[in-house]
Amino acid sequence: MSKRENFGSKIGAVFATAGSAVGLGNIWRFPIETGRNGGAAFIIIYIACILLIGIPVMMSEFVIGKHTRSNTAGAYQKLAPGTQWKWVGRLGVFAGVLIFSYYSVVAGWTIEYAWLALSNSFLGKTPDEFGKIFAEFSTDPVRPTLWLIVFILLTHYIIVKGVTKGIERWSNVLMPVLLGIITILVVCSALLPNASEGLNFLLKPDFSKVDGKVVLNAMGQAFFSLSLGLGCLCTYASYFEPQTSISKTAIEVCTIDTLIALMAGFIIFPAAAASGYHLQPNDIGPSLIFITLPNVFQMAFHGLPWVAYIFSVMFYILLILAALTSTISMHEIVTSYMTEEFNLPRKKGAVFETGIAIILGTLCALSFGTLGNVHIFGMTIFDLFDWTVSNFCMPLGGMFISIFTGWYLDKKVFRDELTNYGKHGAPYVRGLVFTLRYITPLAIFLIFLNQFGVFNFA
Ligand code: PFF
């Protein structure tokens, strides 16, 4: 078999992993969750979730991947041969197939909207018209499917180039551009009239809004935003160089991800305040970015159509970049699995995943229109995929990963990986093991009980 590739530099590893984390979740969910769940109070809870669940699970995935230098399914077979732990890895690969398929649908929509912004089609539209444009587009049987395929092929193109020349090289270009664009947008938003009113609304702490449900939302958001529980981080860590520090990388990735999510809020809320529009609790997900925001941007820069134009174009390019760095990592979970477990050349492994994603993704894309009547367990195909990944595979995967490293994994392996074989200290190891044994699995278990209605937090 050919030599396994590595990320050639530490910064490449950080950009690639942060690229996976930074995605649509940061932009279309985090700001609104914050706005409606008590502002700074939600941010504090979110950060607590990152410290207690996010960083421990991320470091566990890193240890598993870096130690075994294997795809996520192969990693458990190496660390726990002959046991059932391999199913944790396989669950991740299964979820990887699902998430890549449905996430690419929305990623495809961002290309349509970047095109609409570029061709100045938002100019002079009323709020109702924005709603109609989106309804017509998303239910169309052809265009969303075409954009889906374009997005999948774009991801495929990067994946087949390999780890260093594909994933790393592209992350090193896309992430700095993304950071540049988001910074410019934040500055533009901050200059708007009433910007401080918007920020105030976003950040004012209101602890009275915090209840069990809010804590669960924060946990769910942390999982999705940090790409936890699917073996994606494990796969990427298998390409880390030996000298890459696991704890440093985890902290850097979590910091970048959280900062970008906050910056998305610093773009959206001041723009909404300047436009006189009050964001509603249901302005979340696709309706936020495809109906509310194009309208908000037009109104916020009323009288400055050029600025509105450039701002909108940059915003949709930002979405494309954020989505692309995430879909690359989703694709890689499955490609590395196919290549290593079935001894396929990388190209064939990638073609396999791309083919499945085009088929399943098309079903998801059509579930907004042509296949809208098809319901499984009361959900459309798109919603079913999303539900299975976000509410089932991610928490379940995260729970088993923490139990695996907390209880099963040889603590010498764990310590060796965290200290880079004694090259630096890791005074936090005992606390981390305690968290992984008790706190993380219990917290995730509560999400489950709540989700399946065993008890209700609200
Ligand atoms: N973290 C990405 C986002 O916030 O949009 C989504 C994601 C990427 C989830 C990769 C899972 C994954 F494996």
Report the atom number in ligand 1 closest to the C-alpha of 26.
4
Whether 221 is in the pocket of ligand 1, judged by its Cβ within 6 Å, is no
Tell which phi-psi region holds residue 156, choosing left (phi > 0), alpha (psi between -120 and 50) or beta: alpha
Whether 20 is in the pocket of ligand 1, judged by its Cβ within 6 Å, is yes
Whether 326 is in the pocket of ligand 1, judged by its Cβ within 6 Å, is yes
Whether 367 is in the pocket of ligand 1, judged by its Cβ within 6 Å, is no
Give phi and psi for 70, each to the nearest 5: -140, 160
pLDDT at 284: 81
Answer whether residue 2 shows pLDDT above 60. Answer: no
Kindly state the average pLDDT of the residues 201-212.
Answer: 90
Question: How far apart are the two ends of the chain, measured CA to CA in Å?
Answer: 54
The contacts of residue 359 (CB under 8 Å, 6+ apart) are none
Which protein residue has the closest C-alpha to ligand 1 atom 3?
23
Whether 328 is in the pocket of ligand 1, judged by its Cβ within 6 Å, is no
Nearest partner of 401 among 98, 99, 100, 89, judged by Cα: 89
Which protein residue has the closest C-alpha to ligand 1 atom 10?
227
Q: 376 by DSSP, 3-state: which? A: strand
pLDDT at 396: 95
Q: Which amino acid is at 235?
A: T
Ligand 1 center–CA 159 separation, angstroms = 16
Which protein residue has the closest C-alpha to ligand 1 atom 5?
23
The CA distance from 431 to 440, in Å, is 12
CA dist list (Å): 381 to 136, 217, 223, 355, 369: 19, 23, 22, 18, 11
Give the number of C-alpha atoms closer than 13 A to the C-alpha of residue 411, restricted to the C-beta side. Answer: 11
Whether 225 is in the pocket of ligand 1, judged by its Cβ within 6 Å, is yes
- Tell me: the pLDDT tens digits for 50-61? 999 999 999 999
What's the length of the chain?
458
The CA distance from 202 to 270, in Å, is 9
Q: Which amino acid is at 355?
A: G
The CA distance from 358 to 146, in Å, is 10
Residues 161 and 126: beta-carbon distance below 8 Å? no
**Model-wide pTM > 0.85:** yes
Ligand 1 center–CA 210 separation, angstroms = 25
The contacts of residue 395 (CB under 8 Å, 6+ apart) are 220, 223, 229, 444, 447, 448, 451
The CA distance from 240 to 238, in Å, is 6
Kindly state the average pLDDT of the residues 267-278.
Answer: 91
Residues 316 and 109: beta-carbon distance below 8 Å? no
Whether 23 is in the pocket of ligand 1, judged by its Cβ within 6 Å, is yes
The CA distance from 27 to 368, in Å, is 22
Name the pLDDT band for 456 (thresholds 50, 70, 90): low
- Tell me: the pLDDT tens digits for 96-105? 999 999 999 9
Kindly state the average pLDDT of the residues 216-223.
Answer: 92
Name the pLDDT band for 358 (thresholds 50, 70, 90): very high
Kindly state the average pLDDT of the residues 395-413.
Answer: 97
| Lowest-pLDDT range of 34-48, 77-91, 444-458 | 444-458
Structure tokens, 41: 């109070």
Question: What is the percent of the chain with per-residue pLDDT over 90, rounded to a whole number?
Answer: 87
pLDDT at 447: 79
Answer whether residue 1 shows pLDDT above 50. Answer: no
pLDDT at 452: 75
pLDDT at 146: 98
- Tell me: the pLDDT tens digits for 224-245? 999 999 999 999 999 999 999 9
Whether 325 is in the pocket of ligand 1, judged by its Cβ within 6 Å, is no
Residue 351 vs residue 282, higher pLDDT = 351
The CA distance from 20 to 39, in Å, is 25
- Which of 57, 326, 388 has most ligand 1 atoms within 8 Å of its beta carbon, as the pocket-test mutant? 326
pLDDT at 458: 52
Residues 24 and 322: beta-carbon distance below 8 Å? yes
Nearest partner of 237 among 53, 395, 50, 58, judged by Cα: 58
Question: What is the percent of the chain with per-residue pLDDT over 70, rounded to a whole number?
Answer: 98
Residue with tokens 């969303």: 144
pLDDT at 352: 98
pLDDT at 135: 96
Per-position b or e across 103-117, b if 16+ CB within 10 A of its CB: bbbbbbbbbbbbebb
Whether 318 is in the pocket of ligand 1, judged by its Cβ within 6 Å, is no
Residues 426 and 413: beta-carbon distance below 8 Å? no
For Cα atoms 88, 396, 457, give the angle at the middle one, nearest 5 degrees. Answer: 175
Nearest partner of 223 among 351, 402, 348, judged by Cα: 402
The CA distance from 169 to 204, in Å, is 40
Which protein residue has the closest C-alpha to ligand 1 atom 9?
227
The CA distance from 343 to 346, in Å, is 9
Answer whether residue 454 shows pLDDT above 80. Answer: no
The CA distance from 70 to 75, in Å, is 5
Whether 24 is in the pocket of ligand 1, judged by its Cβ within 6 Å, is yes
Q: 450 by DSSP, 3-state: which? A: helix
Whether 21 is in the pocket of ligand 1, judged by its Cβ within 6 Å, is yes
Structure tokens, 184: 């410019």
Mean per-residue pLDDT of the chain = 94
Whether 25 is in the pocket of ligand 1, judged by its Cβ within 6 Å, is yes
The contacts of residue 290 (CB under 8 Å, 6+ apart) are 109, 113, 130, 134, 138
pLDDT at 302: 86
Whether 330 is in the pocket of ligand 1, judged by its Cβ within 6 Å, is yes
Q: 422 by DSSP, 3-state: which? A: coil
Name the pLDDT band for 455 (thresholds 50, 70, 90): low
Residues 250 and 62: beta-carbon distance below 8 Å? yes
Ligand 1 center–CA 39 separation, angstroms = 23
Residues 232 and 332: beta-carbon distance below 8 Å? yes
Ligand 1 center–CA 122 separation, angstroms = 29
- Tell me: the pLDDT tens digits for 13-34? 999 999 999 999 999 989 988 9
- Which of 17, 20, 104 has most ligand 1 atoms within 8 Å of its beta carbon, as the pocket-test mutant? 20
The CA distance from 169 to 162, in Å, is 10
DSSP secondary structure string, 66-131?
A: HHHTS-HHHHHHHHSTTSTTHHHHHHHHHHHHHHHHHHHHHHHHHHHHHHHHHTTTTTT--HHHHH
